[in-house]
Structure formats: C-alpha cells, structure tokens
Structure 1
C-alpha cells in the first residue's frame, strides 16, 4: 500500500493493518522528511490518545493529516506505532 499526498509517496508498506476502514502503516514505513509533529491530540474510546503529524510536501502543508497512537489500549495493540491518514491523503495499492 502507498499513501500519497501532493503527488508524492509519503508512506509505503506491504504490512498495513486495516481498522475502521483506515490503513495503518508501520511507523518505520513513513518517509519522515515529510512529517512534523503537531500539538493536536484526540481520544478514541477504545484505542487511546491519538497524536498527529502535519505533512509538508513540495512547499504545501496539510495540518494534522496523519495520526498515530504511541500508547494504545489492550484492544488496539496491533496498531501501536502505526500511522493512518485522512484530509486528502490517498491510500492505494
């Protein structure tokens, strides 16, 4: 699977995990040069606290377009340190 934003591959992996329709990419499969930590956080009742990244690709930013769970509940251990996307990021095979 590939995550693409602004015509650039920002993550690529054959080992994504699909939960609630979102592909979660292993943290080591993201291209870190395109990611900046955000101060945004949210809570999922069954996964835990999400942290966000802002994407910066070819001079354009996409605020909080990627999220991950550094600490997860026992129900979501499979996605610990995996990254998922929204806000116009395309996930394709």
Structure 2
C-alpha cells in the first residue's frame, strides 16, 4: 500500500505489514519517508493509545499541518487490543491518499 500526496510517495509497504486501527492505516516506521515529515508541537493524548506525536508533511515548499500522526510509546496494555506493538507506526490524514 502507498500513502501519496500530489504524486509523491510518503510511505509504502505491503498491506500485511500495515495495521488498521480505528479506520486508519498505520505504516511501519521504516516504510515512511521521514525526510517529508516535520514534528509538530500539537499535543493529543488518546485514552487507550497514549500520547500522540503529530507531524507536518512537506508538500514542496509548503508544510501541511498535522497530516500524519504516530504513537511513539503506547501503553503495553494497548498491544493486546491492536494485536501487536505499533510504536512509531505512522498514519495519515486529510489530503494524503492511502491505497493499494
């Protein structure tokens, strides 16, 4: 599967390597082009996934605010709910097209 913004692939991995959590596809960290992500100061804490790290995405010279997110240190109890450790997996929002 691929996460694409305006023809640029931000992440790519076989679907078997991704996780679907609450309707969002999460890509393994190694499959994401980290050069296109910039850590955002936006803060959010999920009641069961813990503290979220948002990222802005580079689209040429523009930064798209909070279009990617990850849980760097989710509580181990949440691994049972998801089925595995999903630390640092990255999901995308808004304009990012995720498809096969």
Please confirm whether the aligned pair reaches a TM-score higher than 0.5, indicating the same fold.
Answer: yes
Residue 84 of structure 2 is aligned to residue 82 of structure 1 = no
Instruction: Report the TM-score, using the length of structure 1 for normalisation.
Output: 0.92
Which of structure 1's runs of 4+ aligned residues deviate more than 4 A?
Answer: none
Superposition RMSD in Å = 1.2
- Give CA deviations for 1:63-88 in whole Å, capped at 9, x if unaligned: 11000011102214532110001021
Structure number with the higher strand fraction is: 1
- Give CA deviations for 1:32-68 in whole Å, capped at 9, x if unaligned: 1111111112111111110111000222321110000
Between structure 1 and structure 2, the one with the greater Rg is: 2
- Where do 5+ consecutive residues of structure 1 fail to align? none
CA distance in structure 1 between the aligned counterparts of 2:18 and 2:3, rounded to whole angstroms: 11
